[in-house]
Amino acid sequence: MNRRFPAEWEKQQGVLLCFPHNGNDWPGKYGAIQWAFVEFIKKVSLQELVFLVVKDVKQQEVVSDLLLRADVNLDKIQFIHHKTNRSWMRDSGPIIVYNNGKREALNFNFNGWAKYSNYKLDRFVPEKVSATLDIPLTQVTYKGKPVVLEGGALEVNGKGTLLTSEECLLHPTIQVRNPGFTKEDYEAIFKDYFGVTNTIWLGNGIKGDDTHGHIDDLARFVNPHTIVTVIETNKQDENYKPLQDNLKRLKASRLETGKAPEIVTLPMPKPLIFEGIRIPASYANFLIINNCVLVPTFNDPNDRFALNTLADCFPKHEIIGISAIDLIWGFGTLHCLSQQIPE
């Protein structure tokens, strides 16, 4: 078998999204969330197909009406009927790799981030999506056991290097996905299922991240040899030290070529507090689609710097900010909610 996990900037057939059928992940904000989703779907649909999971025909009709009101072309939307617990397709959805040049969907046995007990419906998302797209589905196992991994914990350059975090995958007691797994175990899985020969391990994630350290709030590849990483400039902020540690690790890291990656820093927005809770707002949660990068913004002075920095990183892409001030109340934004489907 010869697998390769393509980078996000490679050509996509479409993006998988799931329209929330309840507001449980956004208490008190469900009305606003529906329109935030409509705007997100619209921006993706201008570039490529949207594979949109909805609960049933009834919800499809309601969502279609919302989309039409916002002038979305429904020809660019392919509905998939499946009742879910949540809408975080990055983590419950399939990861599509190339296996000897052909697409293969990987099922990583989603378990609610080893935190929430209501995930049973989400576990069937890979099956439903792969059947709809006619892509063969493979259950990921290691030494005979199912492996649990979320897309939000994995970031690749498509050439053999993967970024992840120790907090998410290796913490001995908190949200343990695969009890007893070592770095070596994970790296064997990355090699087998992603064609990854080189793993860069960061340390801890940002405060408020209920996934406990997902990489897609921390550091992202913007091309095969450049990584953007978020840093906090306020030394009093609890994110300052862990993000400095991650920056140090990245500066000491090497790519699969043996060369040092180029490192670009992104700012953090000012701390976002809602109902007394610190929310994990991060500009690193952008989504790369065909010809375009969609960037979460937070009504913050640093929005401008983040957009400009990413514009420098993606000279051939349009850079579009999408207000994520309501979405982030669910503890994730654009990248967490989506899963790209390579061509």
Residues linked to residue 323 through DSSP beta bridges, in sequence order: 297
Q: Is the dihedral of CA 319, 281, 306, 159 positive or negative?
A: negative
Tell me which of 18, 168, 313, 336 is the catalytic residue. 336
CB atoms near residue 57 (< 10 Å): 9
192: tokens are 């087998």
Residues linked to residue 79 through DSSP beta bridges, in sequence order: 52
Strand-pair category, 3-4 with 95-99: antiparallel
The separation between the first and the last C-alpha atoms of the chain, rounded to the nearest angstrom, is 20
Please answer whether residues 116 and 153 qualify as being in contact, where contact means their C-beta atoms are separated by less than 8 angstroms: no
- The contacts of residue 42 (CB under 8 Å, 6+ apart) are 67, 70, 71, 72
Q: Count how many residues are written for the chain.
A: 343
Q: Running DSSP on this structure, what letter comes out for residue 160?
A: S
Does the annotation mark 336 as catalytic?
yes
Q: Which residues are catalytic?
A: 336
